[in-house]
Structure 1
Amino acid sequence: MGFARGRRRVAMAVGALLGAGAVAVVVHRVLAPAEVDTPARAGYPAAVTPAIGVVGRLPVAPLIVDGRLRVYAATRQVYADQPADSRYRVTPYWSYRRWPAEVSGVVADGTTVVSRWSDGKLVALDARTGRVAWQADGPAPAEGWTARRTGAGAVWEPPGLFLARGADGRPGLVVSGPTGVGGFALADGRRLWSVDVDGGCRTDVGTTAAGQFVAVDRCAGPATVEFRDVATGTPTTRWQPPGATAELAVTPVGCVSHRSRCRGLRTTGPADGAGRGWLAGAGQPVAAPALDPAGSELDGERAVGVAVGVVTGRSARTGGELWRRDDLGPARIVAVQPGRVHLLTEANDLVTLDPSTGAERSRFPLNVGRDGIGWAPGLVYAGGGYLAMERLREPVDPDADDQRYFLMSEPVVLAAS
């Protein structure tokens, strides 16, 4: 009896060890760091020429890539669908996941889609296939996923992630974090430069069309606007706009994409809220009085602004009027992309003008089906001839949960202008 009882105890111990081992294997498989790249199984789609007007509505915010794909972000995933003018979101064309890191931001240039993750990893995907083109270690962001349900904050306003072009025209990437800033070659992810910074007393502005990375530096003395060469990281200019104080704010204008490759800046201070506009070139910024009014935008060297229901195009350098429109009623500029300035009227009509002449390219209600126009605009994206906009429930409450904050389950409206 004692021998049998001993054998049972041994068997139970072995069983417990085997069970614990099995649990450990499962836990490891579930919790261990992992990445899953699911490439495209179909051929790269042809570019489309969408019909002017509302394309459809989506639950998440798209980036239009190469005129062929729409790229989205979720907490731990970057994925694409196609065609770009599909009325609804469809089965992913390709998908890339990582665990346990979270997506911080996503940008795209040509057929390269770069995602930044909470652990600082940069992952470039070939948009044509969804396969990983390169990976690099960059400065870690302050936080991981910070976007709301649509993901717009990650793909339309990616924190600390800026596209750039060097003086030689080569595409690059500037990545900023709380303790460092680095430059990377977009073609292969090669680190071009790196500097240590104190993010507590610096504010990123963006990159300029002249190949500089701009930040406001308050770390030693009065607030100063700092310019660095995007290819080398070398400081090129330190500039204090007239009347600059510690509360100096600098906003980029005339950008190709969010805060990237911008042609102008607007500086503001706390005294009276008045702003001053500037053209950003190779040296110190040059005054551009037509960009002084808040809400004015820039296309090339043409400034477009709205005042008392009148839309005007002016020379950014001289302020001389080039054209005017007084037939739109109350409207405001919501987005600009090269060759297009988008305005939203009081009735939520989307009006797109040619910024060089003021000629109307298109005008239509930004409405889908029976959704109606009783909503407020949220984040906006414009690129590749498309415009996408979040629609928010009125009155807008930024502190509300997503169900109350957004108009509906598919709050993003996509249009072609």
Structure 2
Amino acid sequence: MGLATGRRVVAALVALGVAAVVAVVTYRVLAPAEVSTVARGDYPPLSVPDPGVVGRLPVAPLIVDGRLRVYSGSRQVYADQPVDGRYRSTPYWSYRRWPASLDAVVVSGTTVVSRWSDGRLVALDARTGRVAWRADGPRPDRARTARRTGAALVWDPSGLTVTRVAGGRDVVVSSGAGEVRAVDLAGGRELWRAAIGSGCRAPIGTGGGQLLTVDGCTGPPVIEFRAVATGEVSARWQPPDHSGELTATLVGCVPGGAGCAGLRTAGSADMAARGWLLGTGDPARAPALDGPGVALVDRTAVAVADGVLIGRSASDGTERWRAAVGPARVIAVQPGRVHVLTEQNELVNLDPATGVELSRFVLDIGSDGTGWAPGSAYAADGYVVVERLRRPVDQDADDQRYYLTAEALILAATGPMGE
């Protein structure tokens, strides 16, 4: 009896020991954690390559300070350099979190702000990769889905924006789970928070120092304007002669805190989209922005009609210039530059103030050819990045069929930017 009892005690102790080891291992593997790998080399110099195709990449980048490329992973934000490297290279710095997944990334100056599935905001100094600050924010309304390139997380960061308010201060605004919070970009201090309700209110972004939200909670839908600096609602506006449903899309948006300069609204199926300019008061009617193919840059509305790119004053519609580009469409704009892609996948880059052609070249690299369809596109600091899709485009296809190659993004430089 004594021997049997002793064996049972030993077995119990061994079981407890194993359980303890398993618990420790499980905790170490599954416990919330972050891993920050900072830069070891010097901050790279500014690069200004000649106009032309630079390289191809497997993941969509954000161009930071004209020196780095920042990418998203499912649980990671990381950077490589040089900005004009032909291929993605070993990370210059990297930041990982677990078990939260990455939801969105925005950049202002040399600060990279990421939002995660638990609502956490983490700001990184792009020059070193070091964490600048952490702050709590509302959880995203829904899990983000992104294809292999991650373009949705960095080029279309829903629920996260940086906007500049009076005095030149940049404010990070995050929304989700029926709430909006604003924090100071410089130090991560929370400035204000506001409950906005779920389901019937949808923040669409910032412009003119205001957060715009489509509010359909009570009565006909309206656009609510909330001051980013204070969180106070400054106005509630409905487009004149509008009835029924209301959708709104911001246009003329500039990365890095400048916000969006215009707005396009639409209603029922028989109501055409209408353009508006954002300012200090109610949005001002801007017919030059009507239609989904019109882009806004530097207060100029640009669109292709019958093979001609036309630039008009966004405020009064006066034609400023026109340039023959052939069958094409505007794929991206940035301050000081309009980017047009022709049917032959030739990239034409023009000055939005004058319509003068600045550079032109075919988007081709290696043996890939030009028999692809353009997907999402992005432009910053004189660079353009375009997703290349297989023809015919099948939106329901898996990533291998959807994209042209494993390195589906083509990166191009368009020439020196003006001072």
TM-score (norm 2): 0.95
Question: 5 Å matches for 1:332-343?
Answer: 332-343=329-340
Aligned to 1:141: 140
User: What is the deviation of 1:140?
Assistant: 0.8
User: What is the deviation of 1:113?
Assistant: 0.3
User: What is the deviation of 1:39?
Assistant: 0.8
User: What is the deviation of 1:372?
Assistant: 1.2
Q: Is the 8 A contact 2:164 2:258 kept in 1?
A: no
Partner SS, residue 254 of structure 2: coil
Alpha-carbon distance in structure 2 between the residues aligned to 1:260 and 1:178: 26
Partner SS, residue 200 of structure 1: coil
Aligned to 1:15: 14
Q: Does 1:88 align with 2:87?
A: yes
TM-score (norm 1): 0.96
Aligned to 1:323: 321
Alignment counterpart, residue 214 of structure 2, candidates 213, 216, 222: 216
Q: Is the 8 A contact 2:375 2:387 kept in 1?
A: yes
- Which has the larger displacement, 3-12 or 170-179? 3-12
Partner SS, residue 371 of structure 2: coil
Partner SS, residue 22 of structure 1: helix
Name the CA shift for 1:124/1:258 in 2 (closer, same or farther; >3 Å).
closer
User: What is the deviation of 1:245?
Assistant: 2.9
User: What is the deviation of 1:260?
Assistant: 6.3
Q: Does 1:65 align with 2:55?
A: no
- Which has the larger displacement, 115-124 or 283-292? 283-292
Q: Is the 8 A contact 1:53 1:415 kept in 2?
A: yes
Aligned to 2:305: 307
Q: CA RMSD in A?
A: 1.5
Alpha-carbon distance in structure 2 between the residues aligned to 1:7 and 1:108: 65
Q: Is the 8 A contact 2:163 2:258 kept in 1?
A: yes
- The number of residue pairs the alignment matches comes to 414
Aligned to 1:407: 404
Alpha-carbon distance in structure 2 between the residues aligned to 1:226 and 1:234: 11
Q: Does 1:267 align with 2:259?
A: no
- Which has the larger displacement, 359-368 or 92-101? 359-368
Aligned to 2:417: none
Partner SS, residue 255 of structure 1: strand
Q: Does 1:383 align with 2:380?
A: yes
CA deviation string 1:153-176 (max 9, x = no partner): 111111101110112210111111
2:80 alignment partner AA: D
Q: Is the 8 A contact 2:210 2:226 kept in 1?
A: yes
Partner SS, residue 10 of structure 1: helix
User: What is the deviation of 1:124?
Assistant: 0.3
Alpha-carbon distance in structure 1 between the residues aligned to 2:377 and 2:245: 27
Alpha-carbon distance in structure 2 between the residues aligned to 1:131 and 1:20: 37
Alpha-carbon distance in structure 2 between the residues aligned to 1:258 and 1:240: 29
Alpha-carbon distance in structure 1 between the residues aligned to 2:243 and 2:370: 42
Partner SS, residue 25 of structure 1: helix
2:253 alignment partner AA: C
- Which has the larger displacement, 345-354 or 297-306? 297-306
User: What is the deviation of 1:258?
Assistant: 9.1
Aligned to 1:111: 110
Q: Is the 8 A contact 2:248 2:263 kept in 1?
A: yes
Q: Does 1:348 align with 2:345?
A: yes
CA deviation string 1:81-128 (max 9, x = no partner): 111111100000111111000100000101100000000100000111
User: What is the deviation of 1:257?
Assistant: 2.4
User: What is the deviation of 1:143?
Assistant: 2.9
Q: Is the 8 A contact 1:203 1:217 kept in 2?
A: yes
Alpha-carbon distance in structure 1 between the residues aligned to 2:258 and 2:400: 32
Partner SS, residue 199 of structure 1: coil
Alpha-carbon distance in structure 2 between the residues aligned to 1:401 and 1:350: 28
Alpha-carbon distance in structure 2 between the residues aligned to 1:280 and 1:96: 36
Alignment counterpart, residue 371 of structure 1, candidates 353, 358, 368: 368
Q: Is the 8 A contact 2:247 2:267 kept in 1?
A: yes
Alpha-carbon distance in structure 2 between the residues aligned to 1:414 and 1:381: 10
- Which has the larger displacement, 198-207 or 175-184? 198-207
User: What is the deviation of 1:269?
Assistant: 2.2
Q: Does 1:130 align with 2:154?
A: no
1:92 alignment partner AA: P
Unaligned runs of 5+ in 1: none
Q: Is the 8 A contact 1:263 1:280 kept in 2?
A: yes
**Residue identity (%):** 61
Q: Does 1:398 align with 2:398?
A: no
Unaligned runs of 5+ in 2: 415-419
Alpha-carbon distance in structure 1 between the residues aligned to 2:143 and 2:101: 5
User: What is the deviation of 1:6?
Assistant: 4.0
User: What is the deviation of 1:5?
Assistant: 4.3
Name the CA shift for 1:273/1:396 in 2 (closer, same or farther; >3 Å).
farther
